[in-house]
Homo-oligomer: A and B are copies of this chain.
Amino acid sequence: MAWNAWGDPALAKPLSDDVRNLLHTLLEIDTAAAPAPARDEVLVRPSALSGVHLRALTEIVGEEHVSVQDADRLPRAGGKSTPDLLRRRSTGPQDAPDAVVVPGTEEELRDVLALCAQQRIAVVPFGGGTSVVGGLDPVRGEFGAVLSLDLRRFDALLSFDEVSGEAVLGAGVTGPRAEELLGAHGFELGHYPQSFRYATIGGFAATRSSGQDSAGYGRFDEMVRGLRVVTPTGTLDLGRGPASAAGPDLRQLFLGSEGTLGVITAVRVRVHPVPAVRRYEAWRFPDFAAGAAALRAVEQQGTGPTVIRLSDETETAVNLAMTSKIGAPQEVSGCLAVTVFEGTEEQTAARHEATRRTMLAHGATSLGEEPARAWEHGRFDAPYLRDALLDNGALCETLETATDWSNLARLRADVTAALQGALQAGGSTSLVMCHISHVYPTGASLYFTVVGAQRGDAIAQWQAAKTAACDAIAAAGATITHHHAVGTDHRPWMEQEIGELGVAVLKAVKGVLDPVGILNPGKLIP
Q: Which residues of A pack against B, CB within 8 Å?
A: 161, 163-166, 207-210, 219, 221, 225, 231, 233-238, 240-250, 252-258, 261, 270, 272, 296, 300-302, 347, 350, 401-407, 438, 440-445, 477-486, 490, 494, 497-502, 504-509, 511-513, 524-525
Q: Is there contact, CB below 8 Å, between A219 and B243? A: yes
Q: A163-B406, A404-B164, A406-B164 are in contact. Are A499 and B236 (CB under 8 A)?
A: yes
Our pick among B210, B238, B498 for the contact of A498 (Cβ within 8 Å) is B238
CB neighbours (8 Å) of A504 from chain B are: 233, 512
CB distance from A273 to the nearest CB of B (A): 8
Also in contact, A245 and B485, with CB within 8 A (given A252-B252, A441-B165): yes
Contacts of A347 in B (CB 8 A): 301-302
Given A210-B243, A242-B404, A248-B253, 15 extra CB contacts under 8 A: A161-B406, A164-B404, A165-B442, A231-B501, A235-B499, A240-B477, A241-B479, A243-B443, A245-B256, A247-B486, A247-B524, A249-B252, A253-B505, A505-B512, A508-B512
CB distance from A313 to the nearest CB of B (A): 22
Contacts of A300 in B (CB 8 A): 165, 272
Q: Which residue of B lies closest to A444 (CB)?
A: B242
**Chain B: minimal CB distance from A208 (Å):** 4
A219 surroundings in chain B (CB, below 8 A)? 243
* Residues on B with beta carbons closer than 8 Å to the beta carbon of A302: 347
Q: List 23 A-B contacts (CB under 8 A).
A: A163-B404, A164-B407, A166-B442, A234-B499, A234-B501, A237-B499, A238-B498, A238-B499, A241-B401, A245-B484, A246-B479, A246-B494, A247-B257, A247-B485, A249-B256, A250-B505, A272-B300, A301-B347, A350-B350, A501-B513, A504-B512, A505-B512, A508-B512
Given contacts A406-B161, A441-B270, A442-B165, contact A247 B256 (CB under 8 A): yes
Given the interface pairs A234-B500, A512-B508, the reply to whether A482 lies near B241 with Cβ below 8 Å is yes
Closest CB in chain B relative to A191 CB, distance in Å = 14
Q: Are A402 and B486 in contact (CB under 8 A)?
A: no
A323 vs chain B, min Cβ distance (A): 24
CB contact under 8 A between A509 and B498, given known A443-B164, A479-B246: no
A166 neighbours in B (Cβ, 8 Å)? 404, 442
Taken together as a complex, chains A and B put the C-alpha atoms of A302 and B302 apart, in Å, by 12
The answer to whether A248 and B243 have CB atoms under 8 Å apart is no
**Which chain B positions have C-beta within 8 A of A248?**
252-257, 261, 506, 509
Majority SS at the chain A contact face = mixed
Residue of B nearest to A296 (CB): B163
Residues of B within 8 A of A499 (CB): 234-238
CA distance A255 to B253 in the complex (A): 13
Q: How near does chain B come to A160, taking the closest CB pair, in angstroms?
A: 11
Contact B506 A247 (CB under 8 A): yes
Hey, which chain B residues are within 8 Å of A242, CB to CB? 402-404, 440-444
Residue of B nearest to A261 (CB): B248
Which residues of the other chain, B, contact A401 by a CB distance below 8 angstroms? 241
- Residue ID in chain B nearest A498 by CB atoms: B250
Question: Which residue of B233, B236, B270, B498 contacts A247 across the interface (Cβ within 8 Å)?
Answer: B498
Task: Report Cα–Cα, A170/B499, bound state, in Å.
Answer: 21
**Distance from A328 Cβ to chain B, minimum over Cβ atoms (Å):** 33
Q: Please, how many angstroms separate the alpha-carbon atoms of A164 and B441 in the complex? A: 7
Instruction: Name which residue of chain B comes closest to A166, CB basis.
Output: B442
| Closest B residue, CB atoms, query A405 | B164
The list of the 5 closest CB pairs from A to B, nearest first, reads: A252-B252, A242-B443, A242-B440, A208-B245, A244-B479
- Whether A441 contacts B246 by the Cβ 8 Å rule is no
A402 touches B243 (CB 8 A): yes
Q: Which chain B residues lie closer than 8 Å to A238 at the CB level?
A: 498-499, 502
Q: Are A249 and B255 in contact (CB under 8 A)?
A: yes
User: Please, which residue of chain B has its CB at the minimum distance from the CB of A502?
Assistant: B250
Query: Of B296, B406, B498, which one neighbours A246 at CB under 8 angstroms?
Result: B498
B247 touches A494 (CB 8 A): yes
Chain B nearest Cβ from A247, distance in angstroms: 5
Q: Of B233, B244, B482, which is within 8 A of A245 by CB?
A: B482
Least Cβ–Cβ distance between A266 and chain B, in angstroms: 15
Q: B505 and A243: CB pair below 8 A?
A: no
Report which of B241, B257, B524 forms a contact with A402, defined as CB distance below 8 A.
B241
Determine how close the nearest CB of chain B comes to the CB of A379; give it in whole angstroms: 20
Which of A207, A248, A494, A525 has the most B CB atoms < 10 Å from its CB? A248
Once the chains are docked, how many angstroms separate the CA of A210 from the CA of B506?
28
**Is the beta-carbon distance between B479 and A404 smaller than 8 angstroms?**
no
B253 A501 Cβ-Cβ under 8 A: no
> Which B residues are in CB contact (< 8 Å) with A507?
512
